[in-house]
């Protein structure tokens, strides 16, 4: 859900109250109205683009106005003018669910944003805010209430979880470390600490904390998912049964948490095992979050492994359309390129089989190549020979992080004679073509098979 809508709904319903036998929803907030009347409104095209990293969400001088205007717009759309504008909000949400980006969804639902802004400002100045009255919920009987005491460590664990959910990672870390000092086996504290460490960039510590949480509570769904995610991303090409075990446990703990299904689909696709089941997992993730491009990419990876090229292309085109970041767009484009190559190779293989021949792919040097390998040309921007060769290759489609395969090394070739004193450690600045095996689920990284020097002198 867009940040403005999430926060606007929170304030809209957060200001509800129960008066005797009546529940009142939509009551105007005097504090928010004061902000709206005494400050300049945020342009709606800016409001719609605010996310949790935006100054409007983090700076004290801006965030209060962001909350106030988000509340006012939600109030206008839900109950303004006797609920006359609800259809616009329904259209907006439907467009987002269908994969539209923010700008497209807003244009489809609201039309002219300048006109909507004028209408909203008029609505605020009228001071005529509708409320919705409902019968108050039935009172709970004392017999229905259950109370349990929690320890001081549990209190800090909950405080830490709330802080990390609000993006206050340092406050969360302080509370959670205090919780663990009070109770060294508090699984809830370790689970929330793992999340905090992950958001702070301490991946190794996050992995250790997630493992401790699981050791104290094997049913910790969040810790299970996070451990699987971190383990997979550290070594995406390696088979690790723990990843699948953790993800299946996470799905069992929360069947509506889409990322568990998506990651499990990608992992299984990389292992090329149980592909029909992997596709079911990807489709389940899509059904839970239709507008999430990551799950479309996951489904495409499975379908490519299944050689269902038409269905894979459809998922990739949808993912590209609904991409929420430039990285997702790049991934979709690179997968589409790989899909084109796979379709060409499949066609060649069919033709070769029909003619009784054998499929072979040759490069510019006339050397046979693996028909399933990816290929990229660019300039080496960074290189390291510590614990094996690692390099960054700047290509027209973005940066690739490549490395040699442990125990196999890299085959170096050139149209010209390679100097006797040549070393791969001196590749920085060289123009090269690299044939590589892409990591499972990662189009921008992989292991090098062959490296061809294109420069006259490396």
Residue 71 lies in a domain: yes
- Show the domain range for 264: 166-313
Which of 117, 135, 153 corresponds to the end of one domain? Answer: 135
Using DSSP's 3-state secondary structure scheme, residue 200 falls into: coil
Q: What is the CATH number of the domain that holds 412?
A: 2.40.50.140
Q: Over 60: is that where the pLDDT of 353 sits? A: yes
What residues contact residue 271 under an 8 Å CB cut-off, 6+ apart? 239, 440
Residue 188: C-alpha distances to residues 158, 160, 164, 177 (Å): 8, 10, 13, 12
Q: Could you tell me if 129 and 174 lie in one domain? A: no
What residues contact residue 135 under an 8 Å CB cut-off, 6+ apart? 21, 22, 23
Residue 349 lies in a domain: no
What residues contact residue 401 under an 8 Å CB cut-off, 6+ apart? 390, 392, 444, 445
Residue 277 lies in a domain: yes
Q: In the predicted model, what is the mean pLDDT of residues 115-142? A: 88
Number of domains observed in the structure of the chain: 3
Residue in 201, 265, 257 with CA at minimum distance from that of residue 224: 257
- Quote the CA–CA distance of 449 and 359 in Å, as a whole number: 19
Find out whether 27 and 15 touch, Cβ atoms under 8 Å. yes
pTM for the model:
0.60
Confidence of residue 68 (pLDDT cuts 50, 70, 90): very high
pLDDT in tens, 440-454: 666 678 888 888 888
Q: What are phi and psi of 158, to 5 degrees?
A: -70, -40
Cα pseudo-dihedral 261, 265, 267, 272, rounded to 10: 160
Q: Could you tell me if 182 and 88 lie in one domain? A: no
Residue 290 lies in a domain: yes
Residue in 65, 66, 31 with CA at minimum distance from that of residue 48: 66
Q: Could you tell me if 25 and 128 lie in one domain? A: yes
Q: Could you tell me if 188 and 300 lie in one domain? A: yes
Q: Where are the alpha helices (DSSP H) in 272-325?
A: 275-288, 293-305, 309-322
Q: Could you tell me if 189 and 304 lie in one domain? A: yes
Confidence of residue 372 (pLDDT cuts 50, 70, 90): low
- Quote the CA–CA distance of 316 and 332 in Å, as a whole number: 6
Residue in 207, 297, 309 with CA at minimum distance from that of residue 259: 297
Q: Let me know if 394 is exposed, middle or buried by CB neighbors in 10 A (0-12, 13-18, 19+).
A: middle
Q: What is the CATH number of the domain that holds 187?
A: 1.25.40.10
Residue 242 lies in a domain: yes
Residue 439 lies in a domain: yes
Residue 84 lies in a domain: yes
For the record, the structure tokens of 156 come out as 């800090």
Find out whether 300 and 312 touch, Cβ atoms under 8 Å. yes
Q: Could you tell me if 176 and 304 lie in one domain? A: yes
Residue 114 lies in a domain: yes
Q: Could you tell me if 127 and 172 lie in one domain? A: no
Buried b (16+ CB within 10 A) or exposed e, 200-222: eebeeebbbbbbbbbebbeebbb
For the record, the structure tokens of 39 come out as 């400050």
Find out whether 194 and 210 touch, Cβ atoms under 8 Å. yes
Asked which of 64-73, 262-271, 390-399 is least confident by mean pLDDT, the reply is: 390-399
Q: Could you tell me if 91 and 13 lie in one domain? A: yes
Q: Could you tell me if 14 and 129 lie in one domain? A: yes
Which of 119, 135, 151 corresponds to the end of one domain? Answer: 135
- What's the pLDDT score for residue 354? 64
Q: Could you tell me if 261 and 387 lie in one domain? A: no
Q: Could you tell me if 173 and 303 lie in one domain? A: yes
Q: Could you tell me if 130 and 251 lie in one domain? A: no
Q: Over 60: is that where the pLDDT of 224 sits? A: yes
Which of 90, 114, 135 corresponds to the end of one domain? Answer: 135
Q: What is the CATH number of the domain that holds 60?
A: 1.10.390
- Quote the CA–CA distance of 376 and 393 in Å, as a whole number: 9
Looking at residue 368, the DSSP 8-state letter turns out to be E
- What's the pLDDT score for residue 192? 96
Token look-up 């690739």 returns: 400
Q: Over 60: is that where the pLDDT of 25 sits? A: yes
């Amino acid at each position: 859900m867009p940040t403005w809508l999430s926060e606007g709904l929170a304030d809209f319903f957060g200001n509800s109250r129960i008066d005797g036998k009546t529940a009142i929803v939509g009551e105007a907030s005097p504090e928010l109205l004061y902000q709206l009347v005494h400050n300049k409104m945020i342009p709606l095209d800016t409001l719609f683009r605010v996310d949790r990293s935006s100054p409007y969400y983090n700076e004290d001088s801006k965030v209060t106005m962001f909350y106030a205007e988000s509340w006012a717009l939600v109030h206008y759309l839900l109950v303004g003018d006797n609920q006359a504008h609800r259809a616009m909000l329904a259209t907006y949400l439907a467009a987002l669910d269908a994969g539209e980006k923010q700008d497209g969804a807003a244009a489809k639902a609201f039309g002219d944003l300048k006109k909507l802004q004028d209408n909203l400002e008029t609505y605020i100045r009228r001071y005529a805010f509708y409320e919705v009255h409902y019968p108050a919920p039935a009172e709970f009987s004392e017999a229905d209430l259950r109370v349990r005491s929690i320890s001081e460590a549990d209190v800090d664990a909950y405080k830490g979880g709330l802080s990390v959910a609000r993006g206050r990672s340092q406050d969360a870390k302080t509370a959670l470390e205090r919780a663990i000092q009070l109770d060294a086996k508090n699984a809830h504290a370790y689970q929330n600490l793992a999340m905090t460490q992950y958001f702070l960039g301490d991946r190794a510590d996050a992995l250790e904390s997630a493992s401790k949480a699981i050791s104290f509570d094997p049913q910790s769904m969040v810790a299970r998912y996070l451990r699987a995610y971190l383990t997979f991303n550290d070594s995406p090409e390696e088979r690790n049964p723990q990843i699948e075990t953790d993800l299946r446990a996470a799905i069992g703990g929360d069947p509506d948490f889409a990322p568990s299904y998506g990651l499990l689909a990608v992992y299984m696709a990389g292992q090329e095992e149980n592909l029909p089941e992997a596709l079911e997992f990807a489709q389940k993730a899509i059904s839970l979050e239709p507008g999430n491009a990551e799950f479309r990419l996951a489904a495409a990876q499975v379908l490519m492994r299944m050689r269902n090229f038409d269905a894979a292309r459809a998922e990739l085109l949808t993912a590209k359309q609904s991409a929420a970041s430039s990285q997702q767009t790049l991934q979709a484009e690179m997968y589409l390129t790989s899909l084109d190559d796979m379709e060409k190779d499949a066609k060649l293989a069919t033709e070769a089989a029909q003619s009784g021949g054998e499929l072979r792919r040759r490069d510019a040097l006339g050397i046979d190549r693996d028909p399933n390998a990816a290929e990229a040309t660019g300039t080496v921007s960074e290189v390291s020979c510590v614990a094996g060769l690692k390099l960054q290759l700047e290509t027209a489609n973005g940066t690739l992080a490549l490395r040699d395969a442990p125990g196999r090394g890299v085959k170096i070739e050139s149209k010209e004679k390679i100097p006797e004193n040549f070393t791969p450690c001196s590749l920085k600045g060289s123009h090269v073509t690299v044939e590589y095996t892409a990591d499972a689920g990662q189009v921008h990284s992989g292991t090098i098979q062959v490296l061809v020097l294109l420069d006259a002198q490396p």
